[in-house]
Amino acid sequence: MRWAVLEVEDLHVEFRTRDGVARVLNGVSYAVAAGETLAVLGESGSGKSVTAQAVMGILDTPPAFVTRGSVRFNGEELLTASPERRRAVRGSGVAMIFQDALSALNPVFTVGFQIEEQLRLRRGMSRKDARARAVELLDLVRIPSAAQRVREYPHQFSGGMRQRAMIAMALALDPEVLIADEPTTALDVTVQAQIMDLLREVQRERSMGLVLITHDLGVVAEVADRIAVMYAGRIVEQADAVSLFRSPGHPYTAALMRSLPRLDSSKHSALETIRGLPPSLLRIPPGCPFHPRCPRAEDVCAVDVPAFAPLGPGRGSACHFAEEVVRG
């Protein structure tokens, strides 16, 4: 693998609530190189967004507490860095596009002001230069009439335009890694494709690392170099995109693949579903967290937590029977 710009290792996060301690992340590890796209895939509640927020240092404490692990940017440990240093890295080193652009943008300030503010505070630009750069960024993300739209408020933008404005804000400080948390949620299919094309184009031009958080297997298949599959706060499989789609190495991944509609199947055949529900993070079952829903589960799965084991160059799976799953 190329030099990793961002490395997450054995990350544990728990939420301390009135109902008990929710173990939201349970040893998450991944790395992203310059110019690489890592897709983080999984059902809602699997820990995808919490991992990103822990990397960015924006978890609310309390109730969230990072109890163990490491987050390194260009080899520098961030979890033990000073608040000032973390703020310096946030935006200029690692930036994030949030899932809900309408909530992430401040409704009482113009879109231009919100882009300009970080340029003035972090780059020391004058108001005039910051405004000119904001127009350039809006033009970069293909917002028409950028010089006029820079003076408008978030509610005056469509959903796709707000998402583009969020991308412009994230790119303002030239980050080396961009985390995109469900960047196409609630957008129609045509706009989704435009947003993903835009992200790929910007990534190629800047050689950024891209962490794409999603549950959309179609998006993953098109853009990802590598895929990390999450379940109940753990990464249960990592592989390059081609290998994972061709021969998944974890029963959960295989079940996700079977839930996709296929062009070569009968039009009357029903899509497969994964039985049951994801576990409560307040009461994660012993052994493999997926075993209550797993068609391959055996007695050992209810007792022993499977280690994340290699399945070949650049791929691995946390399953007692991973090699059998790969063979089908």
Q: Any residues with CB less than 8 A from the CB of 208 and at least 6 apart, and which?
A: 34, 35, 175, 176, 177, 178, 202
> What is the distance in angstroms between the CA of the first residue and the CA of the last residue of the chain?
28
Q: Is residue 291 part of a domain?
A: yes
Q: Which two tokens stand for residue 180?
A: 């995109």
Cβ contact 5:177 at 8 Å: yes
Instruction: State the residue for tokens 């992430």.
Output: 104
Q: Give me 18's structure tokens.
A: 């009135």
Total number of domains constituting the chain: 1
Whichever domain contains 262, its CATH number is 3.40.50.300
User: Phi first, then psi: what are they for 96, rounded to 5°?
Assistant: -140, 140
Residue pair 3/60 in contact (Cβ under 8 Å)? The answer is no
Tell me the pLDDT of the chain (328 aa) as tens digits: 578 999 999 999 999 999 999 999 999 999 999 999 999 999 989 999 999 999 999 999 999 999 999 999 999 999 999 999 999 999 999 999 998 888 889 999 999 999 999 999 999 999 999 999 999 999 999 999 999 999 999 999 998 999 999 999 999 999 999 999 998 877 788 888 898 999 999 999 999 999 999 988 888 888 999 999 999 999 999 999 999 999 999 999 999 988 877 666 656 667 778 989 999 999 999 999 999 999 999 999 999 999 999 998 889 999 999 988 887 6
Residue 231 lies in a domain: yes
The residue type of 208 is M
The pLDDT assigned to 326 comes to 81
Question: What element of type H or E holds 157?
Answer: none
Residue 29 lies in a domain: yes
Q: Is 85 inside any structural domain? A: yes
How many whole angstroms separate alpha carbon 95 and alpha carbon 93?
7
**3-state SS assignment for residue 200:** helix
Residue 3: CA atoms inside 13 Å, Cβ hemisphere, count? 8
Report how far apart, in Å, the C-alpha atoms of 194 and of each of 112, 131, 187, 189, 190 are. Answer: 22, 25, 10, 9, 6
**Cα 52 to Cα 8, 47, 105, 216, 317, distances in angstroms:** 10, 9, 18, 17, 21
**Is 128 within a domain?**
no
- CA 302 from chain centre, in angstroms, equals 29
What one-character DSSP code corresponds to residue 299?
A: G
Distance set, CA 62 to CA 146, 221, 286 (Å): 40, 37, 27
- Cα separation, 321 vs 172, in Å, equals 46
SS (H, E, C) 89-152: HHHHCEEEECCCHHHHCCCCCCHHHHHHHHHHHHHCCCHHHHHHHHHHHHHHCCCCCHHHHCCC
Residue 118 lies in a domain: no
Domain range holding 306? Answer: 4-104+175-327
Question: Residue 66's pLDDT is what?
Answer: 97
Domain-embedded: residue 165: no
User: How many angstroms separate the Cα of 85 from the Cα of each of 11, 66, 176?
Assistant: 20, 18, 16
111 falls within a domain:
no
**pLDDT value of residue 269:** 66
